[in-house]
Structure 1
């Protein structure tokens, strides 16, 4: 990957938390029910005279503690504010490129989700929807490459996310998709969408270290299958990403811990419109951070704060992410009466 001519931040979908009853009080799990927030930024080589084609790079760090846990039955609403910043572009060999990169992206994602019991499967089933509003500013040392973009980005829909709860382990699996509803025109300067469908398949779990399920290690792995972009012969390579964390609950209200992520692009970008200099360049990223969440029982809500930073990347920007979210349990079923 090289310097940028037509950068394109896009699709920032996502999120919601779950809840469980414990000791007569409700606590929210920090599983982000409405999915992975994505910020897409395209890079194409001006030095080679190629046109930018809005490839898109997945932003990580939007799932943390209890990523592989399933919320209890109920209806949830959330709002998520995310700030992503990067000022370094790294090529496929790990070299920092002197292009004067400066990216500042803000997203506010509104999420709705529901979880219900499926007795024949002895599981819970979640569905969710995320609608993101994005503002992004991109600049380099070349003034003509500086852009401001604002709009509703790509829709994120989870029609099926299933979970099984065992005494010391939670298991989850699901399917979600990114729909190209955000504004996109090949080579356009006002794009806020990625211009293609993405099918996402996930599998994960959480291990609990005590009977109270207060301390836990959790991870969620996902495979993103990208389809051809609209109006241009480019197909983004598929990616595998793992996100999660290690943490615990203190005093029944505060949960804190360390979070981390990894991403590997497992197939090449392809298509006749792909700039030749980008052939064979595959994304890779690893990062760490911290998370704290606070339960607010009187209003059945939870506030979550998270910070993550890339430690190592290839063929993408080196960035950091700040996350602030509010989850609310709009409804939950009454506990069954004891026999």
Structure 2
């Protein structure tokens, strides 16, 4: 969610409204410990309940925009994954889809915005998921498309108003043969399409986790970073790029008899420029069928 530079009241109102929408579709912080590890063949449901509290707007130089500028985004991302028994390039082949449902409430006094909107967000279709597994490592590569099916008529609308092609790559490494200590990094790269003459810059997201097993559960340190890697183009474009970093902790608890994993994580953002700054809390339910 980028905040373009301040250039007068009218420009601020227009550009802060645009900041209510992320430059890309992918929300950082939904993956953490062992995020790049693809499960065995089967059908899975993953429900990500995410709450992002905006406590300020940050200008390109990381200074805080004056005034009361806060908001809350609450989303349930319903992810469906099918890992098949087929092999492609030596990897397990799968596919996935994500259907998010969200509610956004914004109070940006600097731009005169105060509204709340709810609805189904833009849908993700991923026809390519590849998972490799070694004795002490897992790797993933994937590709898919975020659609522009949701409404984007208001600053708090659930849709972005453009499509994004997303490429994924990541690695989990286990530091011991019993796989009780792990380190992982997962990368998402988004190529955004044009929306009414405006194209948001490309976006790189990296999520990482360091985890340790303690009997039946895992705990660890997690974090994410997000960078805009190219300039915006078209009407209202600037050369100011967004970035954000976050640090947090995660707990993972399995319920083997039910084929369920429960995960919880909390993040606090720092080093934010040209975007919103806040805290993110995420709860995940993983169910194997």
Query: Which residue in 1 is equivalent to 2:276?
Result: 317
1:203 and 2:169 correspond: yes
Deviation, structure 1 residue 172? 1.3
Does structure 1 retain, via aligned residues, the 8 Å contact 2:4–2:274? no
What are the residue-to-residue correspondences of 1:285-324 with 2, within 5 Å? 285-324=244-283
Q: Which whole-Å deviations, capped at 9, do the CAs of 1:155-213 have from their partners, x for residues lacking one?
A: 0222111111111121211102211111123xx35621001010011111111111122
In the alignment, which of 160, 178, 182 is matched to residue 212 of structure 1? 178
SS in 2 for 1:68: coil
Provide the aligned C-alpha RMSD in A: 2.0
Does structure 2 retain, via aligned residues, the 8 Å contact 1:183–1:190? no
Distance 1:214 1:105, change over 3 A: same
Larger Rg: 1
What are the residue-to-residue correspondences of 1:1-339 with 2, within 5 Å? 47-50=8-11, 51-52=14-15, 54=18, 56-57=21-22, 59-119=27-87, 121-141=89-109, 144-185=112-153, 188=154, 191-229=157-195, 232-251=196-215, 253-272=216-235, 274=236, 279-330=238-289
Does structure 1 retain, via aligned residues, the 8 Å contact 2:2–2:274? no
Gaps of at least 5 residues in structure 2 are: none
Q: Distance in 2 between matches of 1:317 and 1:134?
A: 18
Q: Distance in 2 between matches of 1:117 and 1:250?
A: 31
Q: Distance in 1 between matches of 2:30 and 2:73?
A: 14
Does structure 2 retain, via aligned residues, the 8 Å contact 1:54–1:194? no
Does structure 1 retain, via aligned residues, the 8 Å contact 2:5–2:60? no
Q: Distance in 2 between matches of 1:271 and 1:119?
A: 43
Query: If the length of structure 1 is used for normalisation, what is the TM-score?
Result: 0.78
Q: Distance in 2 between matches of 1:212 and 1:198?
A: 39
Q: Distance in 2 between matches of 1:119 and 1:268?
A: 38
Gaps of at least 5 residues in structure 1 are: 1-39, 331-339
Does structure 2 retain, via aligned residues, the 8 Å contact 1:172–1:203? yes
Q: Which whole-Å deviations, capped at 9, do the CAs of 1:290-323 have from their partners, x for residues lacking one?
A: 0001101121101110101112111001111111
Q: Distance in 1 between matches of 2:110 and 2:204?
A: 33
SS in 2 for 1:54: helix
